[in-house]
Structure 1
């Protein structure tokens, strides 16, 4: 996979196995800025993955396959996108995730451009899918703003089901239908 933005220096692509260590370094490595984990479902308390865990598990999906890619900005790795079927083997309910790792790359429209590219790509490779969406939480203001900027619909808000830092937060779902795809801005 190699998805390029026409109007921005952003691409999403798989990486060779030899580049996986660099991706781990910026996401989980000892010098990584882990601020991003405060917004990526922090209530799940997912562990910081060791290099061994990363390369054998989560990280391996960025080397090959259609459902995960690395976001490059000016030819530098800055984050990842993923997709998964919420309904398992039925393969009718497609969700995606996105992470931009270093805060210095936030508020540059990298996430907005990458999400637009990714959603269009997912609709293209899964022609029978009618909806693509994601789930976030009410404390992740950037992901809520992303859904609005992309023209996605807020489809659900489940109140007070995410507990983090001594407080309950809402779970929030956004989605876009294939017929609404034209609402996505050209990138």
Structure 2
């Protein structure tokens, strides 16, 4: 599959990448000179490992090459982050969740995440016509992700109190979602544009 999504309102593209580009994605996310501050907000309570290049290439990173449920975000033609999606209910394929990471702090607070998320959600509804809802889960220590959901018209659907433990403190798990009929369809997603 060769996915390419282009925003009409911002210099943002989401697409699969080539094998030649994969190492650069690893370098900005996990490489020896990467700013790993993003990991402090991406479910830090899970203590996910810093992936080596071989681990990334063979595992998590490989999905950005040709998977319709994963894409790389480019802002002004610079690789800045990723979006992913997975079915919470496995083979039933009716409960779709997504994730987003903007790796370098210099790209935070520019609206990249909200515009890319909006584009990605539209793509997911287009790609999976049988789903009724797309959502994500964050935690109460990630204010940017909570603001993102509200900014793009998602509803706060749940707040499970004090179930995430990190840095000696309990945090809430927070869920956001949007239904197909709530989506602003003024901008249609045209796949492979």
Q: State the TM-score, normalizing by the size of structure 1.
A: 0.97
Describe the SS at the equivalent of 1:129.
coil
Distance 1:145 1:178, change over 3 A: same
**Contact persistence 1:162–1:168 (CA under 8 A):** yes
Aligned residues between the structures: 187
Match of 1:153 among 147, 152, 155: 155
1:85 aligns with 2:99: no
**Contact persistence 1:151–1:183 (CA under 8 A):** no
Task: Note the C-alpha offset of 1:64.
Answer: 0.5
Over aligned residue pairs, what C-alpha RMSD do you find? 1.4
Describe the SS at the equivalent of 1:24.
helix
Q: Which residue of 1 aligns with 2:169?
A: 167
Task: Note the C-alpha offset of 1:63.
Answer: 0.4
Spell out the pairing of 1:7-156 with structure 2 (5 A cutoff).
7-156=9-158
In 2: Cα distance, 1:186 partner to 1:143 partner: 24
Describe the SS at the equivalent of 2:66.
coil
Task: Note the C-alpha offset of 1:151.
Answer: 0.9
In 1: Cα distance, 2:115 partner to 2:91 partner: 29
Describe the SS at the equivalent of 1:182.
coil
Distance 1:97 1:88, change over 3 A: same
Describe the SS at the equivalent of 2:85.
strand
5+ residue gaps, structure 2: none
Q: Could you list the structure 1 runs, at least 4 aligned residues long, displaced by more than 2 angstroms after superposition.
A: 183-187
In 2: Cα distance, 1:131 partner to 1:105 partner: 28
Q: State the TM-score, normalizing by the size of structure 2.
A: 0.94
**Contact persistence 2:158–2:176 (CA under 8 A):** yes
